[in-house]
Amino acid sequence: MRWWAVLLCLGGSWRVFAWGPEGHDLVARLALAHMTPTAAAKARELLGPDATLVSISSWADQVRNQRRDTGPWHYIDIPISQPHLDMTRDCPKGDCVIVKIEAFRQVLADPAAAPVQRREALMFVVHFIGDMHQPLHCSDNKDRGGNEVRLDFHGRNMNLHGVWDSGLLTRMGAEDVEFAAFSKDLTDKRAKKWGKGTVRDWAEEAHKVSVKVVYGKLPKPSGGGPIKITPEYEKVADPVIQQQIEKAGARLAATLNAALK
């Protein structure tokens, strides 16, 4: 079992984690397939010979304990009771995922910025675009992004956030198998279409997914125990997860293509 799956089985509450390493790897791999040769070459140059977009895709999670101030950068809490994003309400201090993607994208696109700053900006952008496509990183129901919703997930006591981070994705198959399927589905035409829009548009879209599916299709509690995840819920959730990861890959590619011309 993967180390992050072990943590989830123990019921850990990881507010800033999204997808898990497998999901972030998939986003980076899909992005690479749709990057221009110029953008891919410049990304390799910034990262150096010992790193790739895939190998650094979870870096922002790995440094969280050492850089506590970066914790809120991974998400934005848009209430599911509200129909739209409101930056004054949802990101009052300017330290949410939307603001940070926009700021790091500017650094990355600035050839006058120091290489070390551009490298770090690249690593944050790669991770945060993946993060924001996990619906619970753009929504909240006064439950810490689903961390306080206890679930029975195939006999494991988990929380809603953890199930959407990695629990469901783990059951969908091995990473290489998923990559082959996702790559076939993410055509150039679809990637171009999904690459349009702004970070704020993408956040609102993820928020709507959370309202409609993550919470909207969640089975009703029965008794006082954890909510039991049903096959019907998984059947609805799995294609949503696939599409969110594909969209993240397409949008990461579009962002890097624009920033690394």
In the predicted model, what is the mean pLDDT of residues 34-50? 98
How many CA atoms does the CB half-sphere of 80 hold within 13 Å? 21
pLDDT digits (tens, 9 = 90+) for 3-35: 333 333 333 334 546 788 999 999 999 999 999
- pLDDT, tens only, 111-141: 999 999 999 999 999 999 999 999 999 999 9
* CATH class, range 3-259: mainly alpha
| pLDDT, position 147 | 94
Q: How far is CA 145 from CA 77, 124, 140, 162, 194, in A?
A: 7, 21, 5, 10, 25
User: What would you report as the CA-atom Rg of the chain, rounded to the nearest whole angstrom?
Assistant: 18
Q: What's the pLDDT score for residue 224? A: 80
User: What pTM value is reported for the model?
Assistant: 0.93
Q: Using one digit for the tens of pLDDT, what is the confidence trace for 154-176?
A: 999 999 999 999 999 999 999 99
CA distance 210 to 160: 11
Q: Report the distance separating Cα 236 and Cα 194, nearest Å.
A: 21
Describe the strand order of the beta sheet including 227-228 as a list of residue ranges.
156-159, 150-153, 227-228
Cα distance between residue 119 and residue 237, in whole Å:
34
Q: Do residues 148 and 173 lie in contact, with contact meaning Cβ atoms separated by under 8 Å?
A: no
Q: Look at residue 12 in the predicted model and tell me its pLDDT.
A: 38
- What's the mean pLDDT in 79-93? 97
